[in-house]
Chain A
Amino acid sequence: MRKGRVLFCIFLIAVAAYAIHSALGWSFKTRLFPISVSIPLLALATIQLLQVIFGKGETDEGAGLDLDFSSDVPPDVARHRVINTFCWILGFIICVYLVGFPLTVPLFIFFYLKFQSNVSWLHSLAATAITWGIFYTLFQWLVHIQFEPGAIQTWLDL
């Protein structure tokens, strides 16, 4: 966890340093705001990094007004589930890229319910059909949102 905290501080320092480095080449008006924001960000992230490395204890660490992740799941299981969920999200985006949004919707709902949530075939198919119906009626038929065709449809000129 401490290693992660250090890495996150380094990430912030890198972002601020990149912003300052990029902004130095711009005109005064263009760089005024990014520079005046990046310098204090760099300073605060560095202070935080030093506190994480040399500070004692974590009693003052709370994020205050924010979500706390649940701690009643063993860390290994939690890590596995986090990676698994990110993979599903990434899979969704890749699927949208390959076959487009309208086809991804039923595919994603069905595969997630059937293979991740272990829902029965019947329920998975029914939920998929209902979702696709709502999606089509609302976004394509009523609101007329233009969804980009997927890469496969473009390659095959469909």
Chain B
Amino acid sequence: MFDAFIDGLFLVLQWKAFSLMLVGMGLGFCVGLLPGIGGAATLALMIPFIFKMSPAEAFAFLLGMHSVAATTGDITSVLFGVPGEAISAATVVDGYPMAKKGEAGRALGAALMSSLLGALIGAVALALAIPVVRPLVLTFGSPELFMLSVIGISCITSLSGAGARGQIKGFAMGLLGLLVSTIGQERQSGSLRFDMGIMYLWEGLDFVPVLVGIFAIPEIIDLAVRGTSIAGEGPAENLRSGVMEGIKDTFRHFWLVFRCSVIGVFVGIMPGAGGGVAQWMAYAHSVQSAKDSKDRERFGKGDVRGVLGPGAANNSKEGGELIPTVAFGVPGSGAMAILLSGFLIMGLVPGPDMLTKHLSITFSMVWTLAIANIITVLLCLTVLDQLAKITNVRGGWIIPFVLLLVFVGSYTANGQIADLIVTLIFGMISYFMVLFGWPRPPFVLGFVLGKVIETYLFISMSRYGFTWLKHPIVVLLIILMLVVIAYPYIQKRRGRSGSPANA
């Protein structure tokens, strides 16, 4: 096994594989920065180029590209409040307010360093978990996966508002997100729902136009209203020390980063859950780890812990997703499904062979994840100073380019003008949500998870009726969900009883 581990490293370090990995990383860097052109779509575009490559070269190229896109997606989230990737949306919540406070360098330093640690933890998990993960994956059927997704939504909704009224709003927004996800053709029967006679809606709403509208439009409007630069008119941040501070923050909150990375790996292993859940569960965990309700109120206003959690989980889940893909041929996400086709093109069959005959190739993937992320983060750290300066440019200069980025991104979803209209409509709804204090993260998570949840619910009901509610793991997850919902109240009560007034 150790020989295969070392062989895997040498496979990646061969000049051809290494060069191809660098090319892939360059592509991934651009893709990550551009909203709309997702990592999965680019993987699909690049598949035809791997036919003449060896397996190690092909995976160095594809994985180098894919793993880097998740890292650089955080950069636009922090600088402009526009998620570069759908899986970078949670970074906006605290990353962009940090940029507005003049702490863009710190936020970027924290995002990149936590991404690197997350990727390394994900790679280690991939290396260690392959022999032991089989029972875990087989234990989780549709009912358990349904409950896991519901917990993901409960985490973020229960934490998304202050007090009982805040929770009502959080749950209402989560439900609205789930409802919006049902637009279009129902997967099981093919019936159309809420299509209003518009053919565009038959396929349902694409993630990118909705997410970009929800997150980017209110931020752009706020920037236009303020009439200043993104960082405002406060004292300019010392960028180099800001970036260093962000890196130090990562190690200051090392255990939070570690726990969020583990969450990312765990969610990545679960087929179908994907990065949308991982980042929000990690974000919710970061919020939950606040000392008291007062500490919790710092989140959403530019708390570095809100950047560290999603950053780590986004990258660690890459390693997690590879585990079921390599070991059982069960892709953890759309991107992994495309990667699976790469396996077949290379003549490799995922499963036991990947853990015996082709173990060195499996380990070459582990090394690619680690090396590609180390190189990217080191390169990014050298140019962060320049990137963060963008936040000091006058809003009037920035807005047209960000708007262009937003609309080109949403247009690439389906290549129709209707994508732009969807972005505008959800941008307007999102503007009013922010104005009237309705939280956006639960809506986004509900929307992203809606189809998955409905499918799991359908399979659970068809297969088990209502008896799936008695499955031991489901019962355990229901209890966990109730604890998650009650946690803010418990924390508040504890804080009140511990306050000097009550002493």
Interface residues of chain A, those whose CB is within 8 Å of chain B, are: 1, 4-5, 8, 12, 15-16, 19, 22-23, 26-27, 29-30, 32-34, 37-38, 40-41, 44-45, 47-48, 51, 55, 60-70, 72-73, 77-78, 81-82, 84-86, 88-90, 92-93, 96-97, 101, 105, 108-109, 112-113, 116-119, 127, 131, 135, 138-139, 143, 145-148
Contact = CB atoms under 8 A, between A and B. Distances in A.
Contacts, number: 227
Contacts of A77: 225
A112 B400 contact: yes
A65 B434 contact: no
Interface in B19-78: 30, 37, 45
A109 B401 contact: yes
Contacts of B346: none
Contacts of B226: 70, 72-73
Contact of B171 (A33, A40, A108): A40
A7 to B, nearest CB: 9
30 contacts: A4-B432, A16-B179, A30-B188, A30-B193, A33-B457, A37-B182, A40-B175, A45-B172, A60-B162, A61-B162, A61-B165, A62-B297, A64-B159, A64-B299, A65-B93, A65-B299, A65-B441, A69-B218, A70-B222, A72-B226, A78-B225, A82-B221, A84-B224, A85-B225, A89-B403, A90-B424, A93-B420, A96-B420, A108-B404, A109-B400
Interface residues of B, number: 85
Interface in B186-241: 186, 188-189, 191, 193-194, 217-222, 224-227
Given A48-B172, A84-B224, A85-B220, A34 B417 contact: no
Contact of B166 (A60, A135, A139, A148): A60
Q: Which label, helix, strand, loop or mixed, suits the secondary structure of the A interface?
A: helix
Nearest to B182: A34
B389 interface: no
Contact of A131 (B170, B218, B404): B404
B411 interface: yes
B139 to A, nearest CB: 25
A69 B434 contact: yes
Interface stretch (B113-121, B244-252, B391-399): B391-399
A92 B162 CA distance: 37
A24 B436 CA distance: 31
Nearest to B488: A64
B305 to A, nearest CB: 12
Nearest to B446: A37
B361 to A, nearest CB: 30
A63 B403 contact: no
B439 A93 contact: no
B415 A33 contact: no
